[in-house]
Amino acid sequence: MTKPFMFEKPVGMRDTLPELYLLRQQVRSTVAGEVARWGYAPIATPALEFYDTIGEASATSDTQLFKLLDQQGHTLVLRPDMTAPIARIAASTLEEVQRPARLTYDANVFRAQQREGGKPAEFEQLGVELIGDGTASADGEVIALMIAALKKAELPNFKVAIGHIGFVNTLLREILGTEERADTFRRYLYEKNYVGFKQAVKQLPLSSIDRQRLSGLLNLRGGFDILEDAERLVETEAGAAALGELRALLDVLRAYGLEDEVVIDLNLVMHMSYYTGMVFEAYSDELGFPLGGGGRYDELLEKFHRPEPATGFAVRLDRLTEALGRAKESVTVSYAIVYSNERRTEAMKKAAELREKGQAAVMQDVRGIADLDAYCAQFDNVEYLIGTNGSENSRGGAVL
């Protein structure tokens, strides 16, 4: 590679300029505020972790990990997600903390990508993990909390699709018999390749009933009543148990009054492979990419030698801000006091008054400005405290 130009950044890395920064800060505090009101305690973890622990547990593909070596030669990764680091803490430092534990984080995560723009390699995730509670109420709570936060952020039109990877796994295993075959079909779902799925159904030597059951899986999208169709597809107890979990979850969501925001999509298979039960993803018609998602991951903590159930969500703050960016107008009333030497004390007093009231105020010595008109044009209000008291001096004409 040639030496980068002065202005260049690595692929997928972005700067955040003041306007966007402020908007994102607003969104962040709204979402974080709602999460805090539901009683989730904030924690932070380091950006660098060991490849052998977090890199492994995060289920992010190797090509997407940023790797580096420490001085002892250990391979480190920039954290590709926050769920695995929190599982690490929950299983070690916070092992003794009373369960269920409610934790929240707000952090940048890193996933390398070599493609074109539109997909950052570093992005901010705000999320929660509810650890040590295996009930449908816990699953319902994290979904309801995500929806409450999105509503608080005033996201106009959004939907949350809910699936259940446990149901998909059981049904595939039940029909196909072997884990290997089930894996092929699961991959088609994960790759969103329904055509490939349908072709594979035709090619396998299956009974016509099993064929119908497999193709039937693709139709399990819609409102809460789709569960009745799902019931017709399962034959074993394991399948019925997975559906039972889902039914219990829907009861919780119904109690929260979320029928309008939630759709069922039993084909939803998420990128992170550590999910074991219900999974969900949030969409807005303001953006072409999902805004966030989550699910139940009952086997992840086992990798850190403390098996216990857990569930959670993460919202992509960069995407949520982008989705809101069009919907919301940023309101920044700005105030500048341009002063000259002899009225500095007066200017300071005025600025202090404004700041006391919570109003942002810029103090600028007039001699420091090259083009007064252009400089002042960027503020909504400008107050000139120039020259001797009472008489206005012309630009730059400070009397010494």
Closest to another protein by CB, 292 vs 387, is 292
Q: Does 157 bind another protein (CB under 8 A)?
A: yes
| Interface positions, 170-229, toward another protein (CB under 8 A) | 192-196, 198-199, 221-222
Q: Which is nearer to another protein, 103 or 160 (CB)?
A: 160
Binding characters for another protein, 245-274, by CB under 8 A (x = yes): ------------------x-x---------
Residue length of the chain: 400
Between residue 54 and residue 83, which ones bind another protein under the rule CB under 8 A? none
* Least Å from the CB of residue 261 to another protein: 11
Residue type, 391: S
d(CA 185, CA 173): 10
Site string for another protein, 318-347 (x = CB under 8 A): ----x--xx---------------------
Span of 40-48, 281-289, 308-316, 367-375 interacting with another protein by CB under 8 A: 281-289
Per CB under 8 A, does 134 bind another protein?
no
CB of 193 vs another protein, minimal distance in Å = 5
∠ at Cα 212 (207, 213), nearest 5°?
95
Q: Smallest distance from the beta carbon of 221 to another protein, in angstroms?
A: 7
Question: CB burial class (10 A; 0-12, 13-18, 19+) of residue 297?
Answer: buried
Residue 255 CA: distances (Å) to CA of 146, 249, 251, 321: 16, 10, 6, 29
Spatial contact of 320 and 366, defined as CB atoms under 8 Å apart:
no
> Among the candidate windows 44-52, 286-294, 378-386, 388-396, which touches another protein by CB under 8 A?
286-294
Nearest to 58 by CA among 320, 283, 249, 314: 314
Query: Considering the rule CB under 8 A, would residue 21 count as an interface residue with another protein?
Result: no
Dihedral over Cα of 215, 221, 225, 227: its sign: positive
The nearer residue to another protein, 139 or 322, going by C-beta atoms, is 322
Q: Which stretch binds another protein (CB under 8 A): 121-129, 146-154, 277-285, 351-359?
A: 277-285
Which whole-number Å values give the CA distances from 168 to 146, 228, 313, 348, in the listed order?
24, 15, 20, 66
Candidate list 21, 202, 237, 289; residue touching another protein; CB under 8 A: 289
Amino acid at 92: S
Q: How far apart are CA 343 and CA 385, in angstroms?
A: 6
Instruction: Return the structure tokens found at 366.
Output: 């007039």
Q: Which residues bind another protein (CB under 8 A)?
A: 19-20, 118, 157, 159, 161, 192-196, 198-199, 221-222, 263, 265, 283-290, 322, 325-326
